[in-house]
Chain A
Amino acid sequence: ETGVTQSPTHLIKTRGQQVTLRCSSQSGHNTVSWYQQALGQGPQFIFQYYREEENGRGNFPPRFSGLQFPNYSSELNVNALELDDSALYLCASSLEGTKNIQYFGAGTRLSVL
């Protein structure tokens, strides 16, 4: 067990809708990263938050946004869903001072129809 939980486990949306995915990390894990994993591929970095501020972003459009809260939970929001957004979304958290080790949740499987 990594201590990182994600909800929901599965989600079905239609094109154009908006979605919010949630992640809860262990106490003290003040860095959270989000990844998108398309079927059959390795995860792709979306963005990272450190102490509630965005701390880095991958090659994803602005309709992908996030929030991190003081209680070590975080959200990934995706607006104007597209069919290609269908993927497994993984959240990973790191403990202060050990940023190079990321602990992953089991992910949210998003299907866009």
Chain B
Amino acid sequence: AQTVTQSQPEMSVQEAETVTLSCTYDTSESNYYLFWYKQPPSRQMILVIRQEAYKQQNATENRFSVNFQKAAKSFSLKISDSQLGDTAMYFCAFMSPNAGNMLTFGGGTRLMVKP
């Protein structure tokens, strides 16, 4: 079974600064995907960024980037130039095609961006 751990229940950052959210996971699978989802107060999960485990290069999407350390089973999210609209719950998630393509989520990190 896969597990995903987010050790930071809450974080805050000043607008325009950079923040890093941590995520670790445990799996015996070799083929898998990792995701960061954002859940604002509107409740809808929005995909922020995706990483394929076989790719060594870290994924980047505009102000969002990841630090994927496969050997350490670590997958952190860096948000640069934080904006007020980034305030939300952030969930790290794992999926393996060999384990049914279901998402296993961490417990989430509540991020507050302060003006």
Contacts and interface: CB of A to CB of B under 8 A. Distances in A.
B97 A99 contact: yes
Nearest to A90: B45
A65 to B, nearest CB: 17
Interface string A58-97: 1000000000000000000000000000001010101000
What bracket does the count of chain A residues touching chain B fall in? 20 to 34
Interface stretch (B12-20, B67-75, B99-107): B99-107
A55 to B, nearest CB: 7
A106 B103 CA distance: 17
Interface centre among B47, B100, B104 (most CB of A within 10 A): B100
Nearest to A104: B45
A51 to B, nearest CB: 14
A100 B33 contact: yes
What bracket does the count of chain B residues touching chain A fall in? 20 to 34
A48 B106 CA distance: 19
Contacts of B50: 100-101
A92 B108 contact: no
Nearest to A33: B102
B100 A100 contact: no
A38 B44 CA distance: 15
A45 B95 CA distance: 11
Contacts of A109: 43
Contacts of B33: 100
B91 interface: yes
Interface in A1-58: 2, 31, 33, 35, 40-45, 48, 55-56, 58
Given A88-B43, A100-B33, A104-B44, 4 more contacts: A31-B101, A44-B105, A45-B104, A99-B97
Interface of A: 2, 31, 33, 35, 40-45, 48, 55-56, 58, 88, 90, 92, 94, 99-107, 109
